[in-house]
């Protein structure tokens, strides 16, 4: 491929195989909500960019305040030093996620996702 490759684990856990994923030459790993972003960030440092890991299923019931909290938490754990792309954890956001929650996620990214990020 003539460009970076991402491996998305969806609901699978990447932590036990971070080194194997990095050895493939991949640039990005999509991580599950079942893994702690701070732990994954530490394991991936200087090897892989992290993609994830907002929970699209529970997102259907979030309030805007819960959305902001989830975004702030994810950015705080995986954002410092770069190498983090905020996303859902499974590759798609369900139709049932309310528009006000999606807008709250966007607003929270603009509020909390500016570098330099302090963890």
Query: What pLDDT is stored for residue 116 in this prediction?
Result: 86
What pLDDT digit, counting tens, does each position of 19-55 carry?
999 999 999 999 999 999 999 999 999 999 999 899 9
Q: Is the model's pLDDT at 119 over the cut of 60? A: no
Q: What is the mean pLDDT of residues 89-93?
A: 85
The candidate with the shortest Cα–Cα distance to 90, out of 27, 13, 9, 29, is: 9
Position 79 pLDDT exceeds 60: yes
- Average pLDDT over the chain, rounded to an integer: 93
Give burial (CB, 10 Å; 0-12/13-18/19+) of 96.
exposed
Q: What is the arithmetic mean of pLDDT over 75-81?
A: 94
- pTM beyond 0.75: yes
Give the start-to-end residue ranges of the domains of the chain.
6-112
């Amino acid at each position: 491929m003539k460009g970076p490759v991402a491996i998305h684990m969806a609901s699978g856990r990447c932590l036990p195989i971070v080194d194997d994923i990095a050895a493939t030459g991949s640039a990005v790993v999509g991580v599950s909500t079942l893994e702690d972003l701070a732990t994954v960030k530490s394991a991936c440092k200087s090897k892989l960019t992290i993609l994830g890991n907002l929970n699209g299923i529970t997102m259907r019931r979030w309030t805007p305040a819960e959305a902001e909290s989830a975004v702030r938490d994810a950015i705080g754990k995986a954002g410092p030093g770069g190498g983090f792309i905020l996303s859902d954890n499974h590759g798609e956001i369900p139709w049932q996620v309310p528009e006000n929650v999606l807008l709250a996620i966007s607003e929270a990214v603009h509020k909390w996702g500016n570098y330099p990020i302090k963890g």
